[in-house]
Structure 1
Amino acid sequence: MKLTVVGGGSTYTPELIDGFARLRDTLPIDDLVLVDPSAERLDLVGGLARRIFAKQHHNGRITTTSDLDAAVDGADAVLLQLRVGGQAAREQDETWPLECGCVGQETTGAGGLAKALRTVPVVLDIAERVRRTNPEAWLIDFTNPVGIVTRALLQAGHKAVGLCNVAIGFQRKFAALLNVTPSEVHLDHVGLNHLTWETAVRLGGPEGRDILPDLLTHHGEAIAADLHLPHPLLTHLNAIPSYYLRYFYAHDEVVRELRTKPSRAAEVAAMERELLSLYADPTLDEKPELLSKRGGAYYSEAAVDLAAALLTGAGNPYQVVNTRNNGTLPFLPDDAVIEVQAAVGQKGATPLPAPPLDPLYAGLIANVTAYEHLALEAALHGGRNRVFKALLSHPLIAQYEYADALTDRLIAHNREHLAWA
């Protein structure tokens, strides 16, 4: 089995490698290719990756290259984890929206749109090159904004599934609180990428007993503290929101906080410099503890489960993924991409039936889905007017003066990445 990781020079990659090494019985990899335009990063990350495999007695071969076509040739699956513009572009995404009093974040609001505009054309080009050499390869997208990128891939006819680590993070957290194994915890996870709620937490599978009320009663304060949201809100919602919902439920509070501290991009950039220095140590043969602070917790386990199910039919049959709606949420178009529990196998991902949603969630999901449609139109076809319409439709903006000012800032800060600008 051959897997290719596009963006293999990322400091995330050793997390992925560690999972591949530990879970080799679930996903037996013969050939792993890391592809990245940065030869320096590839050298450091590739060296550590080989040492991790060697320490854990994995016999798979790891190669590195900057030649994308060679890297994807013959691949059974291609994992996409790229960041167009690097941390410098992320720094901009998190900064200029604050000038208009709007949240600065790389996956939602104006910053998230900027990332989509930079990313979608690049990902579609990669996908076309994969299709030319191996049209049966699966594309697993971990590149943000996952919902928009996955929708672009599916709309273009590619075999693609989107992946996020929010759900598996909740699963692991709840299992620890309940003193059970993660495999015993099944989430009724519903929404869009980075806009999700846990509406039930079941023990034993999709038909298991819902213990969400017990979680909220006995652990609600701790869960709310982790989310930086007030405990009474969780009681009102009767659900556990993703931490990204804080940008919606406490927008102005978040803006005030972001204006008074260094950006997350600056923190991550400093962390990446330290990580790359650690990776250069020829005696290091495991992922360093610092990597846990980088983000992407449990990404490797989620990626292994998904790749194994798609390629061999093995692994967990129920997984939270980003895939086509196809009537699952009846108030959304079929081609919308939703993030839900799905039955995953070699034919792809089929969402599990979802009970009717409270309008409190459904209304926001419908609003953001409309924004994602307009955002994809802007990413595919360009033009100031399409960018403006996408920003105006976003519930975190939704005022024409803000949308107009943010449109100019977005274009100015991203001109080098926008072919039409």
Structure 2
Amino acid sequence: MKKLKIAIIGGGSSYTPEIIEGFIKRKDELPLGEIYLVDIEAGEEKLNIVGSLAKRMVKKAGLDIDVVLTLDRREAIKGADFVVTQFRVGGLEARARDERFPLKYDVLGQETTGPGGFAKALRTIPVMMNICKDIKELSPEAWLINFTNPSGLVTEAINKYTDIKCIGLCNVPIHMKMDIAAMLDVDSKDVYVDFIGLNHLVWGRKAYVKEKDVTKLVIEKLQDGASLSMKNISDLKWDGDFLNALGMIPCPYHRYFYMTDRLLKEEKEAAKQGAGGTRAEIVKKVEERLFELYKDENLQEKPKELEKRGGAYYSDAAVSLISAIYNDKKEIHTVNTLNKGTVKELPYDSVIETNCLIDRRGATPLNIKEEVPAEILGLMQAVKSYEVLAAEAAVKGDKQKALLALSVHPLVPSVSVAKDLLRDLLEINKEYLTQFK
């Protein structure tokens, strides 16, 4: 049997023990021969620390897998069967700037949503285009599994401007499924959620436990204090009247659109605390503690503290997706993939987040029988318009498209504010945004 080669770009990430654990758990499903962890020079120290832990984890599991640490991306990609991307251009320092710079215009600062997410996409997409060139040359049959945020927007750019086989991934849908299972005290395997929307803008239209529709019960639980959130998002409670009117289950990120005023107030107060107040600055401290743990030569497993980083269920999402493709499982996964008419109200060639059949062919969306209801359609279309323009701006270095992208985003109040935001983000990120020169 041919042994598989996996390339993980951003191998020095604090998330890496999570995906290594995922491969170990699925050792009987995936005949792995090599896992290449690749990073850039600036991340070499972290790569060595987390890579050493990965090797100890594999050794403890008794697996014959070579874990290779390298700064040579092309070496990692050459001959790979799967390429996983989990990197952050500019590191947490860039994320902290993304979270702060919109606030002076009374606009939310967030790493994947709004102007902050736009800045991250502009830094990330050109790097991803170069990675895709390497894949095309060195392993054209490889699957690219993208976990790099903003995942849906990055996946849109890859699918629109390259011919690489790519599926985008996010842990929000699986997180929602696990939270629903916990609030109803049932096995998560018995929970099915009918997801439709975009990355970080996905709704659960219906939730089922086995064959029973439990959507109303979940909405009642949310009004009764049950949590459906993420580590990186304030667990503000939903308005009961709104949830009853919506009749669907919003994702944690919907708070940025449905509770904008409250989250903006929270962010501005956090930013006033100086260094250490924003989510990026909190995560930086968490990461420092994690890497101190990772240095311990006696540590041979993923530490519980990693859950505080916000990457819960990453291994289940990423590695089970890889296994479903490799083993032709025909399982249902919630992923980011080409629309292809699934949501008739969105462009055919745009990327959506929805339930898909996963097999050797990749992701086949489960067709939505009804029209998307007006309750969610407008917001979905507005954000998709932003994503289409943002992807083009990032790939082509087009300032006009960049201005339009910000101008149509629901969280940006006016064109004049969009111009100010664009000016600032281009200046703050000029060392990364060479496509605009």
Q: State if a TM-score over 0.5 links the two structures.
A: yes
How far is 1:153 from its partner?
A: 1.1
Is 1:373 aligned to residue 388 of structure 2? yes
State which of 376, 379, 398 in structure 2 corresponds to 1:364. Answer: 379
Is 1:217 aligned to residue 225 of structure 2? no
Is 1:249 aligned to residue 249 of structure 2? no
How far is 1:290 from its partner?
A: 1.5
The answer to whether the 8 A contact 1:116-1:145 is kept is yes
Q: Deviations over 1:312-355 (max 9, x none)?
A: 213x7000000000101111111110000000111010111213
Unaligned runs of 5+ in 2: 230-234, 271-276
Counterpart position of 2:273: none
The answer to whether the 8 A contact 2:412-2:418 is kept is yes
Q: Deviations over 1:101-141 (max 9, x none)?
A: 00000101001110110000101101110110110000000
The answer to whether the 8 A contact 1:72-1:133 is kept is yes
How far is 1:229 from its partner?
A: 3.1
Hey, what's the Cα distance between the residues in 2 that align with 1:224 and 1:117? Answer: 33
Is 1:229 aligned to residue 237 of structure 2? yes
Hey, what's the Cα distance between the residues in 2 that align with 1:340 and 1:291? Answer: 27
Counterpart position of 1:418: 433
Q: Deviations over 1:256-285 (max 9, x none)?
A: 100111100101111111111111111111
Is 1:133 aligned to residue 138 of structure 2? yes
Q: Which moved more, 1:58-67 or 1:132-141?
A: 58-67
Is 1:285 aligned to residue 290 of structure 2? no
Counterpart position of 1:173: 179
1:183-202 alignment to 2 at 5 Å?
183-202=189-208
1:21-420 alignment to 2 at 5 Å?
21-37=24-40, 38-155=43-160, 156-204=162-210, 208-218=211-221, 220-223=223-226, 226=229, 227-232=235-240, 233-261=242-270, 262-314=277-329, 317-354=331-368, 355-419=370-434, 420=436
Measured on the aligned residues, the alpha-carbon RMSD in Å equals: 1.4
3-state SS of the aligned residue for 2:115?
Answer: helix
Aligned length in residues: 417
Q: Which moved more, 1:211-220 or 1:347-356?
A: 211-220
How far is 1:234 from its partner?
A: 1.9
Q: Which amino acid aligns with 2:285?
A: A
Counterpart position of 2:232: none
Hey, what's the Cα distance between the residues in 2 that align with 1:221 and 1:61? Answer: 49
How far is 1:239 from its partner?
A: 1.3
Q: Which amino acid aligns with 2:11?
A: G
How far is 1:199 from its partner?
A: 1.1
The answer to whether the 8 A contact 2:183-2:221 is kept is no
Hey, what's the Cα distance between the residues in 2 that align with 1:357 and 1:210? Answer: 19
The alpha-carbon distance between structure 1 residues 180 and 224, as it changes in their structure 2 partners (threshold 3 A), is closer
The answer to whether the 8 A contact 1:188-1:199 is kept is yes
How far is 1:163 from its partner?
A: 0.3
Hey, what's the Cα distance between the residues in 1 that align with 2:209 and 2:305? Answer: 33
Hey, what's the Cα distance between the residues in 2 that align with 1:280 and 1:167? Answer: 32
How far is 1:216 from its partner?
A: 2.3
Q: Which amino acid aligns with 1:181?
A: D
Q: Deviations over 1:237-257 (max 9, x none)?
A: 111111111000111111110
3-state SS of the aligned residue for 1:415?
Answer: coil
State which of 11, 14, 17 in structure 1 corresponds to 2:17. Answer: 14
The answer to whether the 8 A contact 1:185-1:201 is kept is yes
How far is 1:154 from its partner?
A: 0.9
Q: Which amino acid aligns with 2:56?
A: R
The answer to whether the 8 A contact 2:82-2:144 is kept is yes
3-state SS of the aligned residue for 1:191?
Answer: strand
How far is 1:385 from its partner?
A: 2.2
How far is 1:231 from its partner?
A: 4.0
Q: Which amino acid aligns with 1:114?
A: A
Is 1:3 aligned to residue 6 of structure 2? yes
How far is 1:224 from its partner?
A: 5.7
The answer to whether the 8 A contact 1:26-1:304 is kept is no
Unaligned runs of 5+ in 1: none
How far is 1:218 from its partner?
A: 4.4
3-state SS of the aligned residue for 2:109?
Answer: coil
Hey, what's the Cα distance between the residues in 2 that align with 1:327 and 1:256? Answer: 39
TM-score (norm 2): 0.92
Hey, what's the Cα distance between the residues in 2 that align with 1:383 and 1:75? Answer: 33
Hey, what's the Cα distance between the residues in 2 that align with 1:388 and 1:229? Answer: 34
Hey, what's the Cα distance between the residues in 1 that align with 2:228 and 2:303? Answer: 27
How far is 1:236 from its partner?
A: 2.0
Hey, what's the Cα distance between the residues in 1 that align with 2:196 and 2:228? Answer: 22
TM-score (norm 1): 0.96
